[in-house]
A and B are shown apart, each in its own frame.
Chain A
Amino acid sequence: DAGVTQSPTHLIKTRGQHVTLRCSPISGHKSVSWYQQVLGQGPQFIFQYYEKEERGRGNFPDRFSARQFPNYSSELNVNALLLGDSALYLCASSWGTGLGYFGPGTRLTVT
């Protein structure tokens, strides 16, 4: 079975732009969580979606939003990009709402 997939793998954006990151969970998993990992730090929780409903939100500004589709894939959107948004964005999927399996991440660079 395929693992968690994320696209794109790398992305370069300019300050003020908008970005959409995508995640496809492991087949059969109904939950997707998003994390931001800046250099030298552990992953920080952003959102969790389960059965297409938001189940948790971390301490991130409203510029960050997400949604989950009927096929359980998910998008993370970030508006008005700042330099500090440069990070590795990780998606994890699980059958329930607990910890799960991570994808390879999307490396976002904001210039």
Chain B
Amino acid sequence: DAKTTQPPSMDCAEGRAANLPCNHSTISGNEYVYWYRQIHSQGPQYIIHGLKNNETNEMASLIITEDRKSSTLILPHATLRDTAVYYCIALYSGGGADGLTFGKGTHLIIQP
């Protein structure tokens, strides 16, 4: 599975859009990009995933560059409850969870 890199921390003002970057320059053609978040001491929560096209759901939008080497998770109107660690993960379609590493993610802090 491709290694991903994320900034260790980010701040965002409440009500503004939070844009979380992820670099996955070695991603292969059939690896999906997944985003999870983890609020302190809880289990990670699935947010969104995508392969090539941009994706949007009720929680967030995922923008994947045309070369697929990076992506951005967008929380359109951040609230204090969005403060969490956000993980970007690359995984083969149909691939197993073995060898999967979450890394340390990005600690997003929403400021009031």
Interface residues of A (CB under 8 A from B): 4, 31, 33, 40-45, 48, 50, 55-58, 88, 90, 92, 96-105, 107
Contact = CB atoms under 8 A, between A and B. Distances in A.
Given A42-B87, A99-B89, A55 B96 contact: yes
Contacts of A31: 97
B57 interface: no
Given A99-B34, A99-B89, A99-B91, A43 B98 contact: no
B103 A42 contact: yes
Given A88-B41, A102-B43, A104-B42, A45 B94 contact: no
Interface residues of B, number: 26
Contacts of A43: 44, 102
> Of residues B34, B85, B101, which shows the largest number of chain A Cβ atoms within 10 Å of its Cβ?
B101
Nearest to A91: B43
B112 interface: no
Interface of B: 34, 36, 41-46, 49, 85, 87, 89, 91, 93-105
A57 B87 contact: no
A96 B104 contact: no
A101 to B, nearest CB: 6
B46 A101 contact: yes
A96 B100 CA distance: 15
A98 B94 contact: yes
Given A41-B104, A92-B97, A99-B100, 18 more contacts: A31-B97, A40-B104, A42-B105, A43-B44, A45-B98, A45-B99, A56-B99, A58-B99, A96-B94, A98-B95, A98-B96, A99-B34, A99-B36, A99-B49, A99-B91, A99-B97, A105-B42, A105-B43
B101 A44 contact: yes
